[in-house]
């Protein structure tokens, strides 16, 4: 998730665009750049690192201009570097473009453009856009309509998500913008026009904004905004008046980053799937650097992580074992590194991490490599230490996760693990696995529909908030489940612990009678997961044991399933394939934890004693 800004008007365009860009630095900050027309060509100034580094370069670069576009990057294709920083240009140097999103078919477009003589200077998918637009421009000096036409033709060939802003030396008083699955707003001033990825970036100058919609294309000047679709047909978009205060705006109007990030769950899953569902019942993992021989050679799998990332691995273990019909191990990174792990060249150690900087996880990787194991990082931050040192990287596309309590990143990790499990089946066509084509198709179809299912979970937010209010007075919580439901109870319990400071323990439901049932009494709340038909009958018995000891029972059931008689309350979640229910159920559990913590007046985004990235051992 990157940040885009632009400005057209009487102010210093570069300084205005950069000042606004700083309001978006939470969206991505591994490099930044700005472009503006000068006398002979489009001037592009970029720097690795934070926006302050770019400002330092600009001190020595004349940058008087009344039009500018700027960008702060969250790397998705190509590591964080000056050469991969936006804006990106074409061969002529007469256009520059900034982009937020993922061009799924960039590789084939890039090959086509290279074959026709275009020369690339970066590893990014964005640069493909600049050259594709150039390839559609007429020879000679194009006018604004021809530039607009070339952009629309190019975007019609693009598959994926984008919010773009483009300037051209041949239309120096204009900015061309478009959006598909990635936000872009236009701020309307008095004799000046602003553009940005998010409302906060324009609010200090104007509260009158147009929210572009998917498929919109717009030509901006300081005085005029013309909006069409990608075929040039005019489109009507009415401006709105923004009433947020500054703090609220940075959270898109949500009270906390955590709640904003819970609501970003569906987009996160969609972005993590993007470009990896190849159709015809197959998964593709472009950019994961193992050869077919290496993939087929892996005979043993160990999934390692900390906290939420470890919990994602526990779900991944169950899925891999079902798909591959071979044992899969999981390990807490801080234990793995001291366990003298017995590994060899046929072992794939999968390291799961949002930040890619967790000291214990890095240490686990460094303990595995000398033993001959191959290492695969499932990581959210491109260019992080884990991403750089692992033998291969499978990126989650959650964008920056600001809240210390991990939410959307967990959903992305489960999505990536599901794709990896399916891909591993594909790499061993001659092995007897547990995955029939029907199983694979069910999972792929389920993944395809998952973002919409998660959106439905979010629609129950009010009911969950109300239930949370009543639960906030309880002193102790058990999260009980069996199979996949036990795997998610670990993460659900952690969510409540870390932001509400309440004792919450995940336990295999069948184990309660072997001791922990002694703790159940009035005032103890039990969240009982009943989303797995194969174990529901036993789960009901376990919940009745709790009820008999006066525990409060909140049953989590699938739509259409019978409400357990012993339940004091119910959370109903949409139905999905059994292996995908952890992703579906977790959205409701994240909301439950959030609203219990809110009811208790806890500091949610930065819980006491915790850090977002635990870089100490
Ligand atoms: C989860 O809500 C916590 N923030 C914490 O458990 C976190 O998952 C753990 O520290 C691992 O971090 P990583 O994913 O960045 O490696």
**436 and 548 share one domain:** no
Measured CA to CA, the distance from residue 290 to residue 293 in angstroms comes to 8
In this structure, what token pair is assigned to residue 324? 């591959």
Question: How much of the chain, in percent, has pLDDT values that exceed 90?
Answer: 80
Measured between alpha carbons, how far is residue 6 from residues 53, 132, 209 in Å?
19, 22, 14
**For a pLDDT cut of 70, what percent of the chain falls above it?**
99
Residue 278 Cα distances to 423, 429, 438, 460, angstroms: 11, 17, 17, 32
Which range has the worst mean pLDDT, 236-250, 253-267, 294-308, 508-522? Answer: 236-250
Tell me what the mean pLDDT of segment 374-402 comes to. Answer: 91
197-250 per-position pLDDT tens digit:
988 889 889 999 999 999 999 999 999 999 999 999 999 999 998 877 777 667
How far, in Å, CA of 51 to CA of 72, rounded?
7
> What are the helix and strand counts (H, E) for the chain?
19, 26
The rounded distance, in Å, linking the Cα atoms of 149 and 176 is: 11
Active site residues: 2, 612
pLDDT the model gives residue 227: 98
Reported confidence tier of residue 429, pLDDT bands at 50, 70, 90: confident
Residues 134 and 196 in one domain: yes
- Give the residue among 310, 404, 289 at the shortest CA–CA distance from 352: 310
Do 307 and 187 fall into the same domain?
no
Flag whether pLDDT at 47 surpasses 70.
Answer: yes
Ligand 1 nearest-atom number relative to CA 409 = 14
- Residue located nearest, by CA, to atom 4 of ligand 1: 405
Q: Are residues 486 and 445 in the same domain?
A: no
**Residue 611: per-residue pLDDT:** 77
Helix (H, G, I), strand (E, B) or coil at 510: helix
pLDDT category at 5 given cuts 50, 70, 90 is very high
406 CA closest ligand 1 atom index: 2
Residues of the domain holding 439: 261-455
Given a cut of 70, whether residue 436 has pLDDT beyond it is yes
Query: Are 104 and 158 contained in the same domain?
Result: yes
Least confident of 240-249, 334-343, 388-397, 551-560: 240-249
* Spatial separation of the C-alpha atoms in residues 64 and 67, rounded to whole Å: 9
* Interatomic CA distance for residues 303 and 417, integer angstroms: 10
Do 45 and 148 lie in one domain? The reply is yes
Residue 417, pLDDT above cutoff 90? yes
Q: What is the DSSP letter of 138?
A: P
Which one of 309, 403, 493 would you pick to mutate in the ligand 1 pocket, going by the greatest count of ligand atoms within 8 A of its CB?
A: 309
Mean pLDDT over the full length of the chain: 93
**pLDDT digit string (tens) for 112-158?**
999 999 999 998 999 999 999 999 999 889 999 999 999 999 999 99
Q: Partners of 529 in the beta sheet?
A: 556
Pair 517, 560 in one domain? yes
**pTM higher than 0.85:** no
pLDDT at 460 over 70: yes
* 535 and 420 fall within a common domain: no
pLDDT at 613 over 80: no
The token duo for 387 is 């991403």
The Å distance, Cα 288 to ligand 1 centre, comes to 23
368 lies in the same domain as 446: yes
The enclosing domain of 49 has a CATH number of 3.60.20.10
Distance 404 CA to ligand 1 centre (A): 8
pLDDT, residue 199, reads 84
Whose C-alpha lies nearest to ligand 1, atom 9? 307
The more confident residue out of 433 and 265 is 265
**CATH number of the domain to which 300 belongs:** 3.40.50.10490
Q: Measured in angstroms, how far is the CA atom of residue 614 from the centroid of ligand 1?
A: 7
Smallest CA separation from ligand 1 atom 8, residue: 308
- Ligand 1 atom 11 nearest Cα: 306
**Of 123-127, 446-450, 608-612, minimum mean pLDDT range:** 608-612
- Is 256 inside any structural domain? no
Burial of 511 (0-12, 13-18, 19+ CB in 10 A): middle
Residues lining ligand 1, CB < 6 A? 306-309, 353-355, 358, 361, 404-406, 498, 613-614
* Average of per-residue pLDDT across 548-568: 94
Q: Give pLDDT, residue 575.
A: 96
- As a whole number, mean pLDDT of residues 340-365 equals 94
DSSP characters over 463-477: HHHHHHHHHTT-SEE
The answer to whether 407 touches 401, Cβ cutoff 8 Å, is yes
Between helix 408-426 and helix 437-458 the angle, nearest 10°, is 170
Q: 590 CA distance to ligand 1 centroid (A)?
A: 15
Taking the centre of ligand 1 as the mean of its atom positions, its distance from the CA of residue 256, in whole angstroms, is: 18
Greatest mean pLDDT among 57-61, 90-94, 302-306, 358-362 lies in 302-306
pLDDT tens-digit series, residues 16-29: 999 999 887 766 67
How high is the pLDDT of residue 144?
A: 96
Radius of gyration of the chain (CA): 25
The total number of structural domains that make up the chain? 3
């Amino acid at each position: 998730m990157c940040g885009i800004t632009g400005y057209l008007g009487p102010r210093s365009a570069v300084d205005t665009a950069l000042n606004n860009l700083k309001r978006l630095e939470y969206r991505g900050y591994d490099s930044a750049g700005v472009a503006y027309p000068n006398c002979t060509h489009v001037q592009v100034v970029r720097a690795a690192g934070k926006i302050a580094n770019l400002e330092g370069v600009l001190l020595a670069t004349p940058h008087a201009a009344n039009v500018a576009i700027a960008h702060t990057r969250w790397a998705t294709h190509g590591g964080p570097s000056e050469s991969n920083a936006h804006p990106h240009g074409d061969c002529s140097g007469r256009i520059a473009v900034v982009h937020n999103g993922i061009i799924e078919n960039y590789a084939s477009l890039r090959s086509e453009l290279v074959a026709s003589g275009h020369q690339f200077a970066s590893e990014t998918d964005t640069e493909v856009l600049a050259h594709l637009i150039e390839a559609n421009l007429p020879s000679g000096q194009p006018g604004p309509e021809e530039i607009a036409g070339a952009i629309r033709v190019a975007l019609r060939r693009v598959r994926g998500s984008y919010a773009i802003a483009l300037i051209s030396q041949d239309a120096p008083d204009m900015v061309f913008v478009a959006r598909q699955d990635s936000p872009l707003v236009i701020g309307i001033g008095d004799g000046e026009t602003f553009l940005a990825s998010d409302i906060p970036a324009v609010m200090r100058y104007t509260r009158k904004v147009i929210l572009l919609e998917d498929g919109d294309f717009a030509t901006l000047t300081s005085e005029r905004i013309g909006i069409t679709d990608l075929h040039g047909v005019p489109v009507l978009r009415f401006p709105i008046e923004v009433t947020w205060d500054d703090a609220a705006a940075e959270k898109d109007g949500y009270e906390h980053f955590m709640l904003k990030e819970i609501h970003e769950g569906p987009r996160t899953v969609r972005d993590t799937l993007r470009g990896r569902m190849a159709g015809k019942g197959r998964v593709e993992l472009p950019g994961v650097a193992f050869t077919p021989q290496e993939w087929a050679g892996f005979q043993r799998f160990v999934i390692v992580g900390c906290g939420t990332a470890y919990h994602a691995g526990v779900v991944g273990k169950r899925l891999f074992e079902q798909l591959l019909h071979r044992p899969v191990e999981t390990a807490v990174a801080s234990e793995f590194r001291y366990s003298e792990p017995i590994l060899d060249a046929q072992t794939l150690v999968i390291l799961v991490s949002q930040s890619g900087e967790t000291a214990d996880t890095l240490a686990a990787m460094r303990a595995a490599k000398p033993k001959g194991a191959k290492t695969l990082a499932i990581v959210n931050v491109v260019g992080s230490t884990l991403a750089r040192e692992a033998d291969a990287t499978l990126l989650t596309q959650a964008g920056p996760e600001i809240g210390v309590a991990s939410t959307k990143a967990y959903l992305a990790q489960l999505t990536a693990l599901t794709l990896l499990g399916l891909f591993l089946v594909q790499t061993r066509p001659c092995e007897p696995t547990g995955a029939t084509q029907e199983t694979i198709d069910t999972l792929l179809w389920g993944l395809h529909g998952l973002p919409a299912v998660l959106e439905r979970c979010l629609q129950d937010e009010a009911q969950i908030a109300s239930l949370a209010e009543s639960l906030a007075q309880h002193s102790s919580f058990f999260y009980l489940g069996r199979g996949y439901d036990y795997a998610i109870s670990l993460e659900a319990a952690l969510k409540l612990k870390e932001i509400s400071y309440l004792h919450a323990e995940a336990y295999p439901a069948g184990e309660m009678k072997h001791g922990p049932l002694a703790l159940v009494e009035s005032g103890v709340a039990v969240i009982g997961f009943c989303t797995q038909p194969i174990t529901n009958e036993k789960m009901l018995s376990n919940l009745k044991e709790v009820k008999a000891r006066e525990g409060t029972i909140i049953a989590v059931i699938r739509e259409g399933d019978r409400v357990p008689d012993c339940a004091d309350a119910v959370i109903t979640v949409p139905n999905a394939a059994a292996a995908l229910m952890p992703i579906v159920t977790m959205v409701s559990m994240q909301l439950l934890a959030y609203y219990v913590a809110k009811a208790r007046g806890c500091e949610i985004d930065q819980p006491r004693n915790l850090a977002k990235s635990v870089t100490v051992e």
